[in-house]
Amino acid sequence: MNMKFIVCVKQVPDTTEVKIDPETNTLIREGVPSVLNPFDQFALEEAIKIRQEGDEIIAISMGPPQAKKALLKCLALGADKAILLTDKVFAGADTWATSYTLVQCIKKIGAFSMIFCGLQAIDGDTAQVGPEIAAQLGIPQITYVESVEKLEGKKLTAKVQTDDGYKIVEVKLPVLITGITPSSFEPTNPPMINIMKANKKPFSTWDAEELGGNKHDYGLNGSLTEVIKVYSPPVRQQGVIIEEETAEASVQKLIELLSKDKVI
């Protein structure tokens, strides 16, 4: 049975240290090149890894027209189709409204086997969109997936990271997974030949009208949260590591330091 995999991706600024405009509370994107969210690339490469002949991978993204670049990279990496959801109505969406938009797209695509999402986007770091898509679609989800171990018939086996190790989870399809990129992951640089073919693969641009749904649920109107203030957290002072020769000496040193700071 051929499967359809949907991969949700986002275009983000190429930095993990996005600066914030203190007056507008928005991210300063000027001068920062945009890239495919690295966590999403891992999700896409997991989908490619398990794809078998006849399966189809569709990359979808909500964003401005420039987000086409991120989707083209997905096509160059191995996705078969890409859909860009772009409309002024989508502007100002929080994670819920973003999920709603992506869900409308997924419903329009039709039956699917799996949805792949990255852990989070490196600009907002919310890690909400994947789980919210699963909630809105009413399908099971597995988060913190380190790797897809096996896909047999309608059963998926995944290796899931936990606080103190990992566990193996089995689930029936359809399912949504969010990946957690292992440190061993080396993102693929798309080869030239695939880059040249990317623009020849099917690419669609859908707006709100095309998606249908309730217009009030898109963008700022459909957002359940309101951003009051965005700020960079203050830089923490470096901690002190006590490395005396014996445990007793370390305790003595700790007491000295705490006494000096009048903690005890």
* 41-100: contacts with other proteins (CB under 8 A): 68-69, 72-73, 76
Cβ 80 to other proteins, closest distance in Å?
17
Sole binder of other proteins in the list 192, 228, 263, 264 (CB under 8 A): 192
| Class of residue 47 by CB neighbours under 10 A (exposed 0-12, middle 13-18, buried 19+) | buried
Nearer to other proteins, 192 or 264 (CB): 192
Helices (H), 141-246: 192-198, 208-211
Cβ 58 to other proteins, closest distance in Å?
19
Nearer to other proteins, 72 or 137 (CB): 72
Task: Based on the shown chain and the rule CB under 8 A, indicate whether residue 35 belongs to the binding site for other proteins.
Answer: yes
Nearer to other proteins, 4 or 73 (CB): 73
Sole binder of other proteins in the list 190, 210, 213, 253 (CB under 8 A): 190
Nearer to other proteins, 191 or 202 (CB): 191
Residues in the chain: 264
> Phi, psi (5° rounding) for residue 178?
-115, 130
Q: How many CB atoms lie within 10 A of CB 240?
A: 9
Rounded Cα distance between 38 and 14, Å, is: 9
Q: Are 130 and 143 in contact (CB under 8 A)?
A: yes
Rounded Cα distance between 197 and 206, Å, is: 22
Binding site for other proteins (CB under 8 A): 35, 68-69, 72-73, 76, 187, 189-193, 195-196, 198-199
